[in-house]
Amino acid sequence: MTMALCTGSFDKLIVAGIILSGAVAEDMDVEIYVLLYGAYAFKKENGENIDTVSEYPELKEKLKTSLKEMKIPTWVEFLSTAKELGNVKIYICGTAGKIWGGEKVSDFIDLADDICGIGEYVDSAQNADVHMLI
């Protein structure tokens, strides 16, 4: 499976984590390409601090409260667990990283495996059995 993760809002990042968990449970190999606002979320100084919601921002506090009460993992925890349990690789788009001041893998949270160009994403998407854009 290839996933393009271009969001920087925690609601959609959690959705990506849930989908990733399901893919790993089905023993799928997954490549995630982190694009534009996703790269912003993956910056070391942002990570768990991302506090934006892309849909229904007026419901952000209710969503955060419900997630906490239900003990739903954070998006970082979902991705970390999936990487521990399955074959998951996470690549930061070089251009997107540079937009946010990130030029090397160490500028991003420890889940990032490498920085790549858009060609690698396009090639992966062409060859994947499942391709999604979040």
For the stretch 90-121, pLDDT in tens is: 999 999 999 999 999 999 999 999 999 999 99
Confidence of residue 68 (pLDDT cuts 50, 70, 90): very high
CATH at 125: 3.40.1260.10
Query: Would strands 2-5 and 131-133 be described as parallel, antiparallel, or unpaired?
Result: parallel
19-63 pLDDT tens trace: 999 999 999 999 999 999 999 999 999 998 989 998 899 999 999
Q: So what's the pLDDT on residue 55?
A: 87
- The domain total for the chain is 1
**Distances in Å between the alpha carbon of 21 and those of 17, 29, 89, 94, 116?**
6, 11, 13, 26, 24
- Consecutive H or E run containing 118: helix 118-127
Range of the domain at 50: 2-133
Confidence of residue 133 (pLDDT cuts 50, 70, 90): very high
Confidence of residue 64 (pLDDT cuts 50, 70, 90): very high
18 token code pair = 């849930």
Say whether pLDDT at 10 is over 90. yes
Cβ neighbours of 27 (radius 10 Å): 9
CA-based radius of gyration for the chain: 14
Q: So what's the pLDDT on residue 69?
A: 98
